Amino acid sequence: MQIFLTGGSGYLGRSTIRALVARGIGVTALARSEHAARTVSELGATPVAGALTDTDVLRAAAGRADGVIHLGVDYAEGTADIDRAAAQALQDGVGSGPYVHTGGVWVYGDTDGVADEDAPLSPPRITAWRPENEQRVLARAAAGGRPVVVMPGLVHGRSGGLAQSFFVDPGRIAGAVPCIGDGSNHWALVHVDDIAELYVLALNARAGSVYAGAGGQNLPLAHITRALAHAAGCPGRIDSLTLDEAVGRMGPIAEAFALDQQFSGVRARRELGWTPTRLDALAELAQG
């Protein structure tokens, strides 16, 4: 089996390549730079030169593969349009082969307890573009495609992820880790290697399926920030911010960090046999 992957040199992509190669699955990976090409090559994938805006490259590479995993996102101007065109090219290329698309649980907004994939959508500004694109992707199931959407929770592990970028690294500089509000809101956490396993399993999912990729670790932000402060080398040093202050410091992504979200990941466990094993998120986050 041969899988074409976008975003392979990125944080989640590297773990996904490892998971695919470990199963003996061949991988080709989009690489927009020499550095990206070296990264995916060292992981065992064959680089394909191009960017997400190169739809002819995407279509051809997907056509040579048995399946596609789309992880890449271009956060330049026009993110939604780039993602929509890339998804269309990849699905056109792979045809009736499996196509796994990346979403994110942030589109659900506050969940009011533990939610599942059928919860109503209420995305913050930073992910407001995603639902329409994901519905376009899933609509291809009616035409014989095999689209699946994986919606990761807050990904952590291997000293990377958004928490590292927006909380730990600034904490090292400022001597305190930021916390939005009183920290009572929950994050639905998942380890990067566990969510990578879900992407591989999703290649065999029923067309039109949607999976919330959360490992069942729904932890209060107050507990998380204490662990992150330890990782930043300033244990106990927490800088409490209002939401407006957090947006001013972090940008609109702060609205997503302030969401109160809980997911179990039961559907992926039941239908695909997904079994997350990295279940001590606070210890992982504290190690940095």
Q: How many CA atoms does the CB half-sphere of 2 hold within 13 Å?
A: 12
Per-residue pLDDT reduced to its tens digit, 195-217: 999 999 999 999 999 999 998 89
Mean per-residue pLDDT for 101-122?
97
Same-domain check for residues 141 and 236: no
The domain that holds 235 is classified in CATH as 3.90.25
Is the pLDDT at 124 greater than 90, yes or no? Answer: yes
Are residues 241 and 179 in contact, defined by beta-carbon separation less than 8 angstroms? yes
Both 103 and 137 in one domain: the answer is yes
Compute CA distances 234 → 100, 140, 168, 269, whole Å.
40, 49, 10, 37
Residues 112 and 68 in one domain: yes
pLDDT digits (tens, 9 = 90+) for 139-172: 999 999 999 999 999 999 999 999 999 999 999 9
What span, in angstroms and rounded, lies between the C-alpha atoms of 182 and 84? Answer: 37
Per-residue pLDDT at 51: 97
pLDDT of residue 255: 98
- Cβ–Cβ under 8 Å, residues 261 and 152: no
Are 8 and 72 found together in one domain?
yes
Query: Within this chain, do residues 184 and 62 fall inside the same structural domain, yes or no?
Result: no
Per-residue pLDDT band for 118 (boundaries 50, 70, 90) equals very high
The verdict on 165 and 108 lying in the same domain is no
Are residues 198 and 172 part of one domain? no
Q: How many domains does the chain have?
A: 2
Structural domain for 231, as ranges: 155-189+217-287
Same domain, 176 and 271: yes
Tens digits of residue pLDDT in 174-199: 999 999 999 999 999 999 999 999 99
Residue 130 and residue 113 share a domain: yes
- Shared domain for 247 and 237, answered yes or no, is yes
Same-domain check for residues 203 and 242: no
- Euclidean distance between CA atoms 270 and 210, whole angstroms: 13
CATH code of the domain in which 6 resides: 3.40.50.720
Same domain, 98 and 183: no
H or E stretch covering 217: strand 217-220
Asked if residue 76 has pLDDT above 90, the reply is: no
